[in-house]
Structure 1
Amino acid sequence: MSERMHQSDAAWLQMEEPTGLMVITAVLWFDEPLDWERLEDVVRERLVERYPRFHQRVVTGGLLGTARWEEHPAFRLEDHLRRTKLGPPGGHAELERLVSESMSTPLDFARPLWELHLIQGYEDGCALLMRVHHCIADGISLARVLLSLTDERAAGGRMAGGFEEAEDPPGTLGRLLRGARTVVGSTRAAWKRGAELLAEPIQLMDLAVEGAKGASAVSRLLTLMQDPPSPFKGELGREKRVAWSRPVPVGKVREIGHGTGSTVNDVVMAVVAGMLRRYVLARGQPPEDIRAVVPVNLRPPREPLPRELGNRFGVVFLPLPLGLEDPLERLWELKRRMDTLKRSPEAAVMFGMLSAAGLAPAPVERMAVEVMRKKASLVLTNVPGPKRPVYLAGAKLSGVMFWVPMPARLGVGLSIFSYAGHVTLGVAADAGLVPEPHELLEDFELELESLAEAVRGAGHPVPLH
C-alpha cells in the first residue's frame, strides 16, 4: 500500500538542491549523559510508532511523476538513531562544527527521511542532533513532535505540554490566523476537483485568493520590488555554517518592551534588524531595508497534530528597517510593519502558491520559488518553546536550537527559540556568503545593549500604533 503525498509537502521535495537541502535541523543539549536504552524506547514509542512518516519512505515516478509514501520493507530504528562521539575538547565550537557539517549532508532517500544522533562527549553531558526532511512536516509541527518526546519530570510518566498557547492570540494576529485557515479549506476543496486543476493549475491559486479575500495580497507579492544587493544574497555553495547565541533572559527583553509599549516578539525582531544593519555597515555597504520570509502557522492551536503530520503554514514578507539609525525608531517602525502584516491575507496566499507548486506544473512552481528568491534576502523563524524546563529520557533539557531550510536559494536563516525563560538566536548561512556567523551573534548582543540603553535614556513618549 502507498499513499499520495499532499501537494504542499511535495513542493518541499521538489525544492531540494545540492546547495539548498530542504531539511529541518534541531540540536538539543543536556548537562548530563542520556541513557541510551531509555532514549531508544522513547523514540520508538513516541516517534516511530505514533507517526507513520518515520517508518515510511518517499517513492517518486509513476503516473505524472507524483511522489508517494510507502512502508519501508526493511525499516530498522538503528539506521536512524545513532551514537556519535564529539571530537576534543568537546565544547560549543565543536558541536557547532558538527551541526554545520550535517547541514551539508543530504539524507538517504532510500530510507525514511530523518535521523537522530546522540552526541556523546559534549562538555559534561551530551547533545541530540535531529534532522527531518521538510516534506514530512513544517518546523512548528516538528517542534511539537520534539516536545512530545519530553516529560514534565525526570521520572517520566507525564508528557510535557504544548509549545503553543492554548488559543489564538487576540487582536490582529488572531484575525490573520483565522483568515489564513479559511484558505486552507478552500485549497483542499479545490484539490478534490483533480483533473480540472491539472489542466488549469492556476485555478487553485485563484481559489486560494478567493478563500482569503486576498487578490490585493497577490498583487502586492508579485509587484514588490526586488530586495537590494547585500552580504546576504549571492551564489550558493554546498558548505553551510551555523552558530547560536548565549541564552538571553526573557526578563531583560520584557523590560525593554515595557519601556516602549512593545511585546517580547517586537523587541527581538527589532534587535535582529539592528544586528543585520551593523553587519552590513561593517562591510562598507549602505544599510537598505531588506525582507525576511517569516513562516506563519495555519493550524488551530487546539488541533492535535495528525498522525500524517504534513505542512500547514504560509509565509509573509516582513520588511526589516535597516535604513533607520535610531534603535527606538527602528523598533517602532518594525512594530508598525508587523501590525500591518497581521491584517493581511498574505500568509494564506503563499500557502496556496506552495500547494500549487506541489502539483508539479513548472510555471506554477517557478512562480512560488521566484517570489521568495527575488523579494526576500533571508528566512526568519520564531517558535515559542516550553516556559518551564522539561526532561527527555530522564535528563533535563538545558537548551534547544533549530533551523528550517532556506528555500528558493536564499542563503541565510535566522531562528529565534524561547525556552524556560530564555531566548536564543541561531544563525545558519551559506559559508560563501557569511563565513563567520559568530560576527552576527556579536552584533546581536551589541544591538540588544544599544536598544536597552536607548530605552533607559529616552525622554519622548511611546508612539501609538
Structure 2
Amino acid sequence: MVDRVRPRDLTFLAEETPETPLHNATIEIFDPGEGEGAFDHARLVALIRDRIAFVPRYRQRLQTVPGHLANPVWVDDENFDLGFHVRRSALPRPGTSAQLLELVSRIVSRPLDRTRPLWEIYFVEGLEGGRVALLSKTHQALVDGVHTVDLGQLLLDLQPEARELDPDDWAPRRSPNPARLLSSAVRENLTDPGVLLDTVRTGSRAVAREADRRSSRVRSFAAAATGRRPKRRGVINGPLSQQRRVVTVETRLSDYRKVREAHGGTVNDVILATVTGALRAWLMTRAESMGGLRQVRAVVPVSVIDEELEATSLGSQIAAHFVDLPISETSPVVRLHQVSYSFQAHKDTGRSVAANRLAGIAGFAPTTFHAIGSRVANAELRRGYQLSVTNVPGPQTPLYAAGARMLASYPVPPLTPGHPLAISVTSYDGGVFYGITADRDWIPDAELLGSCVQEALEELLELSSATRERAPRGRRNPKAKPRPKPGS
C-alpha cells in the first residue's frame, strides 16, 4: 500500500510559488559550552541521526504518479544524505543579531528542494558572546501534527545529559517503479471513490491555479509595458516579492503577568494587545497615517478540544479564531479589554485548552504548533483576514540539545499570498520571543515594527504600575499613612 499525499498537503505544494515559499522556520540560540563537550556541527548531526527515526517522513521525498492519475506518494529517499540537510554556516566574529537576521532572511526566502525530503537545518557559528544558532526550515506539507511532528520537538531534553536511545538501523525501501505507481493509481481510482474524488479535485484546482497565474502574468506584462505600478491594496496587504526580512524581539513573561494582574485577561490577551499597540504606533509613523484603518482583522490559531476537527498527536485540535485588533483606540488598557472580550466567547465555549497544558507537552511542542497554525492560517485565506498572529506557550524550564542550553527560540512564520506581514510568538523559560516575517519590498521598515513591540509593552507596564499604586475601591493603599482615630 503506497503512502499517498493527502489532498490538503498537496494543496500546500501546489499553491507554493517563488513569491510564497510555504515553509516554517525557527531560530534557536544556544550556549554551546566549552571544551571537548561543546555543542558543534558534528554533535548536531549525531543528535539528529539519533532522533530522526521518530519522524520517518524526514527521510522521505515526493514521487509523482505517471499521468497524474492520482496524488503523489511519499517514498523513502534512497540517496538520503543527512549532510545535505544539516548545513554549517558562520558569521564574521563577533556576529551581531542584525547579521544573523540578514542571513536568516536570505535563507528563508529560498524554497526547499522538491526532489529531496522537505527540510533543512543550519548550524550558525560566530555569534557574539560565543553563542551558536540553529535555523530550521520545514515545509508545511511535511508537518501536520497528525502523522508527523516537527523534528525540533524531538531534539531537546530536560537535562543536559542526552537520552540514551536504541541504535537506528534504518535502510530505505526501494522506491516503486512508474509502472507499479500507475497500476496502483488505476486500481485505487476504480475501487476507492475517495481516491478518485481527490484526483479529480486536484486536477481541477491545478487548472484553476494555472489560469490565475497566466492572468497574473498578463497583468504584470501589461503594467510593465505601460510603465504603471500595481495599485496598493492596503497598508499591510499587497503583492509579495521573492525576498523576506526577519525581525526578532525578546521580552520577559513576567512583564505580561504584571499587566494581566493589574487589568485582567490572560497572557495571550496581553500579547495581542501589545501587537495591537505596536501596529498602531508603527502605522502612525508611515505616510499613510494608518491608511484609514480602524482595526486589523487577524486570524489567531487556538488550541481546542473538538471531535469534529482533525485530531493531532498533541492532545488537542487547532482552530482559527478571528479577532479585530483595535488599532484606532488610543488607550492601551481599552485595547487590552477589547481583545480580552473577543476571546471571552471562545473561552465560554468550554473548548479552549489552558496554556499550562500546552506548555507541559513532551519535548518542545511550539515548533509543531506553529507549523499547524500556519496551515490553519493558509486554509482560512478566503475569510479575508489581514494578518496572522500565532502565539504558542512553551515550557518554562530550560531545555538542552546535546548538553547545550537553549537560550531563546524565535518562530519565523511564512507569508501567504497578499499578506506581506506575519507575526508569531513563543514563550520559553521566562521569555516571550517574537518572530516577525515581512516582505522585503512591501515593508522595508520591519525593524521599526519590532521596536514598536517593545514600546507597546512598556506603555502597558507603566499603566499597570500606576494602577497598582492606586488603592482598589473599598480598600486602603497599604503604602498610605494610617488615618488618625476619632478623638486622638
Q: Report the TM-score, using the length of structure 1 for normalisation.
A: 0.73
1:405 and 1:153 map into 2 onto residues whose CA distance is 32
Relative contact order, higher structure (CA 8 A, sep 6+):
1
The 5-angstrom pairing of residues 32-431 of structure 1 reads: 32=32, 34-47=39-52, 49-62=53-66, 63-64=68-69, 66-123=71-128, 124-138=130-144, 145-157=151-163, 194=194, 197=197, 230-246=234-250, 248-283=251-286, 284-285=289-290, 286-297=292-303, 305=313, 313-342=318-347, 372=381, 375-431=384-440
Aligned to 1:186: none
1:74 and 1:51 map into 2 onto residues whose CA distance is 17
Deviation at 1:232, TM superposition (A): 1.1
Judging changes above 3 Å, is the alpha-carbon distance between structure 1 residues 68 and 21 closer, same or farther for their aligned structure 2 residues? same
Deviation at 1:322, TM superposition (A): 1.2
Aligned to 2:366: none
Deviation at 1:395, TM superposition (A): 0.7
2:259 and 2:147 map into 1 onto residues whose CA distance is 30
2:147 and 2:443 map into 1 onto residues whose CA distance is 29
Deviation at 1:404, TM superposition (A): 2.8
1:94 and 1:252 map into 2 onto residues whose CA distance is 28
CA RMSD of aligned residues (A): 3.4
CA-to-aligned-CA distance 1:391-428 (integer Å, 9 cap, x gap): 10111111111123222432111011101011011110
SS of 1:438's partner is: helix
Judging changes above 3 Å, is the alpha-carbon distance between structure 1 residues 264 and 416 closer, same or farther for their aligned structure 2 residues? same
1:13 and 1:373 map into 2 onto residues whose CA distance is 18
Deviation at 1:238, TM superposition (A): 0.6
2:145 and 2:25 map into 1 onto residues whose CA distance is 9
2:139 and 2:339 map into 1 onto residues whose CA distance is 32
Deviation at 1:380, TM superposition (A): 0.8
2:297 and 2:425 map into 1 onto residues whose CA distance is 17
CA-to-aligned-CA distance 1:71-130 (integer Å, 9 cap, x gap): 112111111111112234411111100110012111111110101111111221211111
Judging changes above 3 Å, is the alpha-carbon distance between structure 1 residues 241 and 197 closer, same or farther for their aligned structure 2 residues? same
Deviation at 1:138, TM superposition (A): 4.4
Judging changes above 3 Å, is the alpha-carbon distance between structure 1 residues 266 and 460 closer, same or farther for their aligned structure 2 residues? farther
1:52 and 1:299 map into 2 onto residues whose CA distance is 27
Which residue identity lines up with residue 442 of structure 2 in the other structure? L
Deviation at 1:11, TM superposition (A): 2.2
1:76 and 1:370 map into 2 onto residues whose CA distance is 33
Which residue identity lines up with residue 90 of structure 1 in the other structure? G
1:78 and 1:321 map into 2 onto residues whose CA distance is 48
SS of 2:54's partner is: coil
Deviation at 1:3, TM superposition (A): 1.2
Judging changes above 3 Å, is the alpha-carbon distance between structure 1 residues 60 and 143 closer, same or farther for their aligned structure 2 residues? closer
2:20 and 2:349 map into 1 onto residues whose CA distance is 29
Deviation at 1:314, TM superposition (A): 3.6
- Report the structure number with the largest CA radius of gyration: 2
CA contact (8 A) 2:240 2:417 kept: no
**Number of residues paired by the alignment?**
378
2:65 and 2:199 map into 1 onto residues whose CA distance is 20
1:196 and 1:144 map into 2 onto residues whose CA distance is 30
97-106 or 288-297, larger mean C-alpha shift = 288-297
SS of 1:234's partner is: coil
Aligned to 1:361: none
